Amino acid sequence: LIVWSSVLISAFIDNLPYVATMLPVVSGIAAALGTDPNVLYFGLLAGSTLGGNLTPIGASANIVGIGILRSVGYTVKTRTFMRIGIPTTLAAVTTAYVLIWLLFGLPA
């Protein structure tokens, strides 16, 4: 849940303030569940980092890259960006999600 919600939120806001805000929340969730917080931190990190690839405004690198393209005469529409960003991000996040389970183990 943390991974996928982080993906969606980071698609629209910068991931650094989101992660900074969510760290104490995730710590509280881990404490309430009695689980290792590192698993949840890794999910937060993966989701927020990869979620920025969904939309042109999701990461500052996207904004800079689109600005550079615009300065040399190429226009990137939001729909075009997302047509590539959505499947790429879904594949990357699914891979990260599976890796989290493999690295930290499945629940008993």
Rounded Cα–Cα distance for residues 78 and 107 (Å): 39
Rounded Cα–Cα distance for residues 6 and 14 (Å): 11
Contact 6, 47 (CB under 8 A): yes
Angle between helices 37-51 and 15-33 (to 10 degrees): 150
Q: Is the pLDDT of residue 39 over 50?
A: yes
Block residue for tokens 């800079």: 64
Q: What share of the chain is helix, strand, coil (3-state, %, to 5)?
A: 75, 0, 25
pLDDT in tens, 8-22: 999 999 889 999 999
pLDDT for 108 equals 40
At residue 64, the 3 state secondary structure works out as helix
Residue range 33-53: mean pLDDT, rounded: 92
Q: Is the pLDDT of residue 44 over 60?
A: yes
Provide the domain limits for residue 15.
2-104
Quote the number of domains for the chain: 1
pLDDT in tens, 71-86: 999 999 999 999 999 9
pLDDT band at 56 (very low <50, low <70, confident <90, very high): very high
14: its two tokens: 């910068």
